[in-house]
Structure 1
């Protein structure tokens, strides 16, 4: 690996190399910095964060189903045979305890009433009442309020998993764009180095042509090589600018605006490939199934729908509510017929004869539960396939890296040998150019294999459900 590093550094322009490497290393933009900026300010991730706020609002709304309800009814009869005044204030408090609702209130009825409305009359101070309503069948085990609350609580967890899924994907894409940018920088370094060699050699070749040591054809060929390599520099510069623009979508400043990285911020080389560590395939399969937010989200969505199914099955039962109400007039003479203590027991029954509404909704919920369970099963199969595929990709790219290392070593030796032969007059500049291009291509293949390794590692982390980089590989 040390030899490889020296080989890659050898591709840099020799003039001022040490100062340039030191300067770049001190100001190099790291993957950790880009990921931190993306996780703080990338709009797609902030949008997923708002979904969590939506879920929190939906939970608050569901909790509102158990809010205390204050009612007030007032009526005045100002003309007619009987003039009277009626005031009624009540409080209702639904609870999650078997669907029980507690209620109480105060009413006042004064004035003249016909005999058949005598019950509306109270003392001047009014009548206080208190009671409870208990569902005995329908709405006992579950009702709409409790179903909404449970579904909203699950919704918060689902929103959290949706955010995690977005975070994992943003982390993966950011990592991809970062290594693409680093690779583009390596392409430009190689292209500039090849151009510098040809330009520095041009003066010596012209002197040898003037001395009659080599034919003028060799000088013309070197001019062709210079033009060709300039074109490579232009293409590499364009690719670097394109990669920087793509990376700027994720690397943002303090005002959350895209920031274009400069050439001076490019790392001088890729990290050591041996820094990548993975677990075994079996452990990866187990970890991914446990950590991937997609499976967790589908599981919770199935629970949400199961709650709806239980509610609709419950709604098919007869509605039987038992009510106890106690009332007492306030004040008045105990001999006054108006002053009375009352206790009422009630049994309210309602039965929808066709039950088509609850039956249809239960059928829909049952089908959705089954669908979500099948979706989760398919998702688990996809995750297992993705784990196997990424292990295959990592294995292949590591083999590529070994082969590209061998190719780079061979190209280095061939280039040195061809230059020696040219100096001795046993070769031509054409072959020297070919050897230099071959070495540059070998260096690029090594860089591309290295970038593929780190991109595959980003896939590996995403597939295992790792939300953040284990370590900063760009250091």
Structure 2
């Protein structure tokens, strides 16, 4: 499949720039988190698949409404044998199902024949009928088609919540991938800086050794430091390449064209508050968080609504089935002067299982499912609240740790500068400079690690607030 580098399509960033706080920096080739997430939401295949949840629910609703469509039915039977017409029977019916189980009917029948059953005798011009069928017992307040339609309407809301869950999970994974890419760039920048400093120091020591100012053995130690720094830089570059390829999995364009992130594209600079405006992870905003609006809680609520509709339907099945049907009949349509209320067709249908074991069992199972779903909702609500509180405490802890490590890095930087100054005066050695520098690198790496944990804890909070799926 054709793959494009991101810079080739950089002009298309302008379509998102109006919705972003910061426009794309074409000179520095900066890909911000906002712009990255805009691409994911707009073009990623999983984001498009999430929309199918709603389309499927709309199709299901359309199918459920089909149970209330008017129906035209024609039944014609004819038999002729050896020149004799045994029977010619035509029955046509127009039926309109209504909400409360009532069906409005209109029909026409025209029958003839030598051996026609006497009950089918009608006038020569046919017989018209109009009436209703009413369920007095089972099916009056709720029946299968009413339950299907109600559940399909609930399914639309449920599918919206499920779509949000799927899309939010995609965004959570994309945020983590962006953070890995950003942190890998930061490590490369760190080791690149120290590798360059080690190389400059090596060249200076080499010149001093050739001039006889310092022992030649110092050049060996300085050379080893350069190799160690190059090795660390190479490892950081490998990590960056892998993170860049991982990030490319989330970058797509129109017509499902995958994009490959080029090495010339850089992430925006982040600090401890950068994610708050994008992800809504400001701890002050948690005070306004409404638990009932969470996609998972909404999905569970809609699931309970569906189960309660099913429970009502099962309870309706305990009633006896008693259907009444009444039809006025007349020879001519519109001749109301000849209308006779004594001309009619009527019927009663009654059915009641003696023990109702099947119906009582179905109702009991329906109640159990509702209770299970309610317990699941209560558990998830409590778990969600505790996760938010735990994530908040984690973020506050990492902020304190980061401040401490930043102070340590500052102190180690001061020690390294002092040691380098003493070395320039001949009062120190390469070994001591290297020791100070190694401690500084170690503290910088720890600072980056804590910063990584802080950013990912905010990404985890973002995930909890929108989706509640565990992040490793």
User: For the Cα contact (< 8 Å) 2:33–2:268, is it kept in 1?
Assistant: no
1:387 equivalent in structure 2: 388
Q: Distance between the aligned counterparts of 1:274 and 1:182, measured in 2?
A: 13
Matches within 5 A, 1:59-208: 59-79=61-81, 83-96=86-99, 98-113=100-115, 117-208=117-208
1:298 equivalent in structure 2: 300
TM-score (norm 2): 0.86
1:438 equivalent in structure 2: 439
Q: Distance between the aligned counterparts of 1:47 and 1:267, measured in 2?
A: 28
1:45 equivalent in structure 2: 47
User: For the Cα contact (< 8 Å) 2:275–2:458, is it kept in 1?
Assistant: no
2:260 alignment partner, SS class: coil
1:416 equivalent in structure 2: 417
> After the TM superposition, which of the residue ranges 450-459 and 400-409 deviates more from structure 2?
450-459
CA deviations over 1:229-269 (Å, ceiling 9, x no partner): 11111100110011111111112233434423233211363
TM-score (norm 1): 0.86
Q: Distance between the aligned counterparts of 1:407 and 1:432, measured in 2?
A: 17
Deviation at 1:131, TM superposition (A): 1.1
Q: Distance between the aligned counterparts of 1:434 and 1:288, measured in 2?
A: 53
2:14 equivalent in structure 1: none
2:292 alignment partner, SS class: helix
Q: Distance between the aligned counterparts of 1:286 and 1:209, measured in 2?
A: 67
CA deviations over 1:198-244 (Å, ceiling 9, x no partner): 11222211111112211111100011011111111110011001111
CA deviations over 1:95-118 (Å, ceiling 9, x no partner): 11x21111111111123345xx33
1:427 equivalent in structure 2: 428
Number of residues of Structure 1 aligned to a counterpart in Structure 2: 438
1:473 equivalent in structure 2: none
1:384 alignment partner, SS class: helix
Deviation at 1:340, TM superposition (A): 11
2:305 alignment partner, SS class: helix
Q: Structure 1: which 5+ residue stretches go unaligned?
A: 1-21, 468-475
User: For the Cα contact (< 8 Å) 1:313–1:362, is it kept in 2?
Assistant: yes
Deviation at 1:180, TM superposition (A): 1.0
Deviation at 1:310, TM superposition (A): 0.8
Q: Distance between the aligned counterparts of 1:381 and 1:340, measured in 2?
A: 65
1:259 alignment partner, SS class: strand
Label 1:345 to 1:113 Cα distance change in 2 as closer, same or farther (>3 A).
same
1:312 equivalent in structure 2: 314
CA deviations over 1:420-446 (Å, ceiling 9, x no partner): 011111111122122223333333333
Matched, 1:232 2:232: yes
Q: Distance between the aligned counterparts of 2:193 and 2:407, measured in 1?
A: 21
User: For the Cα contact (< 8 Å) 2:283–2:392, is it kept in 1?
Assistant: no
2:74 alignment partner, SS class: strand
1:78 alignment partner, SS class: strand
1:93 alignment partner, SS class: strand
Deviation at 1:123, TM superposition (A): 3.4
1:247 equivalent in structure 2: 247
Q: Structure 2: which 5+ residue stretches go unaligned?
A: 1-23
Q: Distance between the aligned counterparts of 1:299 and 1:465, measured in 2?
A: 16
2:65 alignment partner, SS class: helix
1:463 alignment partner, SS class: helix
Label 1:383 to 1:466 Cα distance change in 2 as closer, same or farther (>3 A).
closer
User: For the Cα contact (< 8 Å) 1:288–1:465, is it kept in 2?
Assistant: no
Label 1:397 to 1:324 Cα distance change in 2 as closer, same or farther (>3 A).
same
Label 1:42 to 1:455 Cα distance change in 2 as closer, same or farther (>3 A).
same
Label 1:259 to 1:444 Cα distance change in 2 as closer, same or farther (>3 A).
farther
Q: Distance between the aligned counterparts of 1:61 and 1:275, measured in 2?
A: 44
C-alpha RMSD of matched pairs (Å): 2.7
Label 1:268 to 1:294 Cα distance change in 2 as closer, same or farther (>3 A).
closer
1:11 equivalent in structure 2: none
2:344 alignment partner, SS class: strand
